[in-house]
Every structure is written in structure tokens, then in C-alpha cells.
Amino acid sequence: MNTFLTGVNRQTNVILALLVREFRLRNSKHAFHHLFDLLHALFFIVTHWIIFKFAGRHLIIGDSLLTWITTGIAPVLYFRAISIRAAQAIPASKPLRVIPYINPLDVCIAKMGVEVLSFLVIFLFFFVVIYVSGESKDAAPFNYLPILQSISLMTIFAFGAGLVNSFIASVFPLWTIAWSALARVQLFFSAVFFIPEFLPPNFRNLLSYNPMLHFVSLFRTGFYQAYPKDMISWPYMLYWTLGVTFVGLALERVLKETRL
């Protein structure tokens, strides 16, 4: 037992040290330089809001089109960013493997950790601005539990997806570019601009196979009391999250053995 606890404590310290290293590397040129990438995400959201506003897009639910768009786009961009960072971490860990006790998964967790913390801080600030400015009362969640559940599941899911993508990219290098584009296309199939329960049955059933649709819908239920919950499937989200993570860890082991 003491040996186990010693090992856990050691790896925790390793990951914390890598977190600090990652934060410093991203901000080596300018303070908080890495936040510019996240500001791009906010610009992306605001651009869609302006386009829909001028196009006369009517509200589906809630009191603000900006809050509606943000609660849909933010989860998809979050998943995309985390999965890309996780995929990049495995090859980026190569120079650090000569250091004792550091393995690729430690680097992966550290890179993800910086991304997760940055995303949560910047979007928390954005929702506060929307609420304080009087743009929307719905920007203040009425139930934090489904939001935390959605973020937690998406983080693990993105971690697994990143490991799978890292393996595929080792075989097909262009896959990294393809995944970046595919992950953004998710915006049109993940209940970002629509409520799936309001769609025709055939189209609705087809879209229900997309796990991101369930994560986005769960996230939104924390903001909108009247948001439909009929299509949210916990078993389906758990199957995808645990399944992809298991496959990702297995493929990472295969990659590790081929490097030895």
C-alpha cells in the first residue's frame, strides 16, 4: 500500500511539474499568450451571433440568441481543442522520455490540464459578462450539475479521442488536419443551432447516433429549465466515453511498444 501511495504521489508531482512547464512554454513570448487561441473561439461565437442576428434568426428557447449560440458552440470547441491537444502530446513527449518517471500520458494530461483550465476560465468570464451586461439572465446557470457532468464526460471522451487520433496520425500523418476540420463540422450535427426533439423523427433518430449531440444537450439543460431531455441518453454517453478511452489507452500502449 505504501508503495502504491508513493507511486501516486510521485506521478502527481510529475504531472504538476509538467503543467507548470506547459504553461510557461505557451507564454514564453508574451504573458498569457495562449489565451489568444481561446479569444479566437470567442470571436467565432460572436461572429455567428452577429450573422444570425442580422439574418433575423428567431430564438428557439431562452431570452438571448448570444447565450443560445454560446451554450452550443462552446462544448464543441472545448471537445475539439482538448482532443487536438491530447493527440499532439504523444509525439511532443519524445524529448522528455529520457527523464525518469515521465511517460507520454503524463505529458498528455499536463497539456490537457492547461487547456481545460484556460477554457473554463475564459468561458466563465464570458458568461459573467453576458449576464452582468444585461444581455441575458439565462447566462447564469440554474443547475450546475448537468454542466459539470457534461464537461467531465467530454474531457474524458476528448482524452480518449486524442489518443486514438495520435495513433491514426502515426500511420496517416494528414489525419491531424482532417480531424481538425471534422471536429469543427460537428457544429452542424451536434444540436448547436437546433433542438433535436423538434426535428422530424427520421432526421432526429439519425442525428442521435452522434455522441456530441447528447453532450451538448446535457450541457444546455443546466442553463434552460424548459430544455427537452427526451433524447439525452446516459448509457450512450458512457459507452462512448469509456469505449473510446479504453481503445485510446490500448493504442497508446501499442505505440509505446513500437517505440521501444
pLDDT tens figures, 44-76: 888 888 888 888 777 788 888 999 999 999 999
Place of cell 426533439: 197
pLDDT tens sequence across 249-260: 998 887 766 554
The average pLDDT across 10-20 equals: 81
Name the residue among 151, 22, 4 with its Cα closest to residue 96.
Answer: 22
Chain centroid, CA 213 distance in Å: 13
Band of pLDDT at residue 78, cut at 50, 70 and 90: very high
For the chain, how many structural domains are there in total?
Answer: 1
The average pLDDT across 71-85 equals: 91
pLDDT tens sequence across 224-236: 998 998 899 999 9
On the question of pLDDT at 221 being above 90, the answer is: yes
Average pLDDT score over the chain: 85
Interatomic CA distance for residues 168 and 17, integer angstroms:
29
The average pLDDT across 79-92 equals: 85
List the single range of 59-73, 142-156, 215-229 with lowest mean pLDDT: 59-73
Residues contacting residue 74 through CB under 8 Å, at least 6 positions apart = 41, 45, 123, 219
pLDDT at 260: 47
The average pLDDT across 95-109 equals: 76
Interatomic CA distance for residues 81 and 116, integer angstroms:
9
On the question of pLDDT at 25 being above 60, the answer is: yes
Question: What are the φ/ψ torsions at residue 168 (nearest 5 degrees)?
Answer: -60, -40
**Greater model confidence, 94 or 28:** 94
Place of cell 503543467: 19
The set of cell numbers assigned to 124 is 466563465
Interatomic CA distance for residues 229 and 232, integer angstroms:
5
Interatomic CA distance for residues 125 and 120, integer angstroms:
8
Listed in sequence order, the DSSP H helices in the chain are: 2-26, 35-54, 65-92, 104-132, 144-171, 175-185, 201-207, 211-220, 234-259
On the question of pLDDT at 114 being above 90, the answer is: no
Name the residue among 57, 84, 39, 85 with its Cα closest to residue 192.
Answer: 57
pLDDT over 90 percentage in the chain = 31
On the question of pLDDT at 93 being above 60, the answer is: yes
Query: What is the longest distance spanned by two Cα atoms in the chain?
Result: 64
On the question of pLDDT at 177 being above 60, the answer is: yes
List the single range of 49-53, 78-82, 94-98 with lowest mean pLDDT: 94-98
On the question of pLDDT at 97 being above 80, the answer is: no
Interatomic CA distance for residues 205 and 33, integer angstroms:
42
The average pLDDT across 201-228 equals: 92
User: What range does the domain containing 218 cover?
Assistant: 2-259
**Greater model confidence, 241 or 186:** 241
On the question of pLDDT at 220 being above 80, the answer is: yes
Place of cell 491531424: 176
